[in-house]
Structure 1
Amino acid sequence: MKPKVPATTAHIRLPPFTDVLPVPVFFRTERMPAHASYPILRHAWGEFVYSFSGVTEVTAGDQYFLAPPHLGLWIAPETEHTGFNHQAAVHCSMYIRRDLCNGMPDYSCAVMVTPLVRAILEHLRDLGNTPEPEPARERLLRVLVDQLSTCRTTGSFIPHTDDAQLNAVLQPLRDDPADNRTIAELAAAFNLSERTLIRRCQTELGMSLTEWRQRVRIVTALPMLRSGRSVEAVALDLGYASSSAFIAMFRRLMGSSPRRFFAAELTGAANADQ
């Protein structure tokens, strides 16, 4: 499957270069308006994408990825890809020369960034885009490359589909994860039978609609929790009747409760600083 730019694209963004990487590691920040996209790209270097706000969406090879503020995205060298976003977003791209990518996977994947990596990314963002990095900045970029290689990776997490009718059902759930309509109600709203909707989800997404929408809620919840909001407030915002139901879902998908998940994250940052 070739990467596809959404038909709703209103703004086309061009990368700073496509043929030659001018330095071993190049970092830049981009502010993307709503309904913006990049053209289809393929380059010899690796690319790491991270959103400071909003959600960047990327199709890489035959996979679809979301890059919200808690997840980074690694695009392996020579991978055909394109990026786009439905809502306004601020993200960074770090281009890494191929011989420096040895510590990274040879396939594209989502990256669970550590607090240390996040802090470096935010520091580089605040420095702004500079065509000729200073030596201290170049050293920091090399440290960032090393730290990225220690981060946990995961799959695309939220599968995508090219089925236009199914995607019409999914888009409102992406836009409003608190939408609690049942499968029967969603099927009826989009002129599908319940059985057809269930079958298409399994065929196109490889999982049930319930599983898919829970993953969307996880992606939405993580930056909210990281900002200091309580579990109860986040659970209610995402349409859960109680925090216990949200915690059970979080534990099943992430392997621990929200409290333990973020405690482990902080412990990892402390260890990295030692």
Structure 2
Amino acid sequence: MPKSHSKPHSQHLRQPPFIDTLPVPVYFRTEHMPSHATYPSMCHPWGEFVYSFSGITEVTTREDYFLAPPHMALWIAPGTEHVGFNHAETVHCSVYIKRELCAALPAQTCAVMVSPLVRAMLEHLRALPPQGHDGVESPTRARLLRVLVDQLGTCATTGSYLPHPDDPELDAVLKVFHDNPADNRPLADLAAAFHMSERTLMRHAQRELGMSLTEWRARLRLVRALPLLQAGRSVESVALDLGYATSSAFIAMFRRLTGTSPGKFIARPANHQVSG
């Protein structure tokens, strides 16, 4: 992982609820993380599914950097050394799953595109009274958690949703978009600004990111758009801020990447209580 994306200095250190064993096969919890919070480095024998209700959850492993924008998720495979943190205030849930139940889930840590059914199940679980650390739960909740695990195995995965390159030249190019997602320069002009050809830039992006630079920029814009939409900004104003000439162009990008409109994607039941 490039040094420019290393874990920031933390003001709040959170401790995980379990270290060596889980009290039940599947455990669900929600967490309200303040700005600049982090967990210590962990490597637990169970899998962990992390879903962001709001804010952006970030995770680093030894090799990679991952993030979960609002309403998206990460899968941390059993035995993966990792550190979770966030820059801004974040609300997320974690589903801890014993290794024996992880056979249908990805063998590697990755970003997850959450299905509408899984999203609805997570919202329902969030609204229930918090599960105690002793794992005592009703048979109904236990069955729901097992169904959730089955459904997680059907969700599409995307590796790192917004991957970062090892190549310093490409990292410098991507910093342009990080600093100004509305930058709409043609790729040829951008490549020339960094003393390379358009073909060389495209080749570097495909090799380092596993996708085109255009696709990566669209994903970055989606990540930047979600917190703004959650804060109540209009689709039109967000689209203009991110460099789209029209809101319809922004909505088309949003539908392509999420499968639904911005309004439907952001909408969720109100008056949920957050438990620690």
What TM-score, normalized to structure 1? Answer: 0.74
Deviation at residue 7 of structure 1 after TM alignment: 3.6
Task: Measure, in 1, the Cα distance between the counterparts of 2:258 and 2:91.
Answer: 29
Partner residue, 2:240: 236
Task: Measure, in 1, the Cα distance between the counterparts of 2:208 and 2:21.
Answer: 37
Q: How many residues align?
A: 258
Task: Measure, in 2, the Cα distance between the counterparts of 1:89 and 1:103.
Answer: 29
In the TM superposition, what whole-angstrom CA distance separates every residue of 1:187-231 from its partner, at most 9, and x where no partner exists?
Answer: 9xxxx95549x6986776466665433211123446777999875
Partner residue, 1:158: 162
1:139 and 2:139 are equivalent in the alignment: no
Deviation at residue 123 of structure 1 after TM alignment: 2.1
Q: Which runs of 5+ in 1 are unaligned?
A: 264-274
Aligned letter for 2:107?
A: D
Partner residue, 1:254: 257
Alignment of 1:189-268 (within 5 A): 193=194, 195=196, 205=209, 210-221=214-225, 232-247=236-251, 249-250=253-254, 254=257, 258=260
Partner residue, 1:81: 82
Aligned letter for 1:35?
A: H
**What RMSD over aligned residues (CA atoms) do the two structures have, in Å?**
4.0
Task: Measure, in 2, the Cα distance between the counterparts of 1:255 and 1:13.
Answer: 31
Change beyond 3 A, Cα 1:124–1:15: same
- Name the SS of the counterpart of 1:216 in structure 2: helix
Deviation at residue 60 of structure 1 after TM alignment: 3.1
Task: Measure, in 2, the Cα distance between the counterparts of 1:32 and 1:175.
Answer: 25
Aligned letter for 1:213?
A: R
What TM-score, normalized to structure 2? Answer: 0.73
Task: Measure, in 2, the Cα distance between the counterparts of 1:68 and 1:121.
Answer: 16
Deviation at residue 52 of structure 1 after TM alignment: 0.8
Task: Measure, in 2, the Cα distance between the counterparts of 1:2 and 1:43.
Answer: 25
Change beyond 3 A, Cα 1:129–1:186: farther
> In the alignment, is the contact (CA less than 8 A) between 2:14 and 2:38 conserved in 1?
yes
Alignment of 1:1-274 (within 5 A): 6-126=7-127, 127-131=129-133, 132-135=135-138, 136-161=140-165, 173-174=177-178, 177-178=181-182, 193=194, 195=196, 205=209, 210-221=214-225, 232-247=236-251, 249-250=253-254, 254=257, 258=260
> In the alignment, is the contact (CA less than 8 A) between 2:54 and 2:227 conserved in 1?
no
Moved more, 135-144 or 89-98: 135-144
